[in-house]
């Protein structure tokens, strides 16, 4: 199985190299040049709103977008399979005025705000109350 996979990947790499040569020979840019920028086996991190900080996840995706030169539309189309649970349902009905990466980031940040650590927040609140009561007496 591993040998067959390696052989298939080798054939795909060869096809991409041939396409790249054709692009270079013609002096024009084609989608083949863009395809070659992204590793075939790239698996993006998944986003589960119950356990993933949306801000951190969006930054990771932004990094891939910049590294591989993806367009807004390509970035948005790539992330769909990596959205889990309520994010998947939200994405399936998302209808922005324009399907851009910026709109996705804004809309998803509103729908899935940065998570708070309630234990830490409660501790800070208690410390603040304690200090205020000390100052008041």
Residues 17 and 72 in one domain: no
Burial class (CB in 10 A: 0-12, 13-18, 19+), 19: middle
Per-residue pLDDT tens digits for 45-82: 999 999 999 999 999 999 999 999 999 999 999 999 99
Number of domains in the chain: 2
Identify the pLDDT of residue 2. Answer: 60
pLDDT value of residue 132: 61
Q: Does one domain contain both 31 and 50?
A: no
Regarding whether 84 and 55 lie in a shared domain, the answer is: yes
Same structural domain, 132 and 67:
yes
Contact 82, 46 (CB under 8 A): yes
- Mean pLDDT taken over the chain: 78
Higher pLDDT, residue 134 or 98: 98
Same domain, 79 and 20: no
pLDDT at 6: 61
- The answer on 62 and 14 residing in a single domain is no
Tell me: do 2 and 62 sit in the same domain: no
12 and 64 assigned to the same domain: no
Question: In the predicted model, is pLDDT for residue 102 greater than 60?
Answer: yes
Phi, psi of 97 (to 5 degrees): -65, -35
pLDDT at 30: 43
Q: What's the confidence (pLDDT) of residue 131?
A: 61
Residue 2 domain boundaries: 1-38
Are 31 and 51 part of one and the same domain? no
What is the Cα–Cα distance from 10 to 73, expressed in whole angstroms?
29
Q: Are residues 52 and 112 in the same domain?
A: yes
Co-location of 11 and 75 in the same domain:
no
Q: Which long-range contacts (CB under 8 A, 24 or more apart) does 96-100 make?
A: 99/72, 99/73, 100/72, 100/73, 100/76
């Amino acid at each position: 199985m591993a040998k067959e996979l390696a052989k298939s990947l080798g054939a795909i790499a060869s096809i991409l190299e041939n396409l790249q040569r054709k692009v270079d020979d013609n002096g024009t840019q084609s989608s083949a040049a863009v395809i070659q920028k992204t590793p075939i086996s790239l698996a993006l991190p998944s986003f589960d709103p119950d356990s993933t900080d949306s801000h951190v996840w969006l930054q990771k995706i932004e990094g891939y977008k910049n590294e591989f030169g993806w367009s807004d539309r390509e970035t948005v189309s790539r992330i769909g399979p990596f959205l889990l649970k309520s994010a998947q349902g939200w994405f399936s009905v998302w209808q922005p005025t324009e399907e851009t990466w910026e709109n996705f980031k804004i809309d998803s940040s509103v729908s899935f705000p940065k998570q708070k650590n309630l234990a830490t927040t409660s501790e800070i609140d208690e410390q603040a109350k304690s200090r205020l009561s000390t100052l008041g007496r």
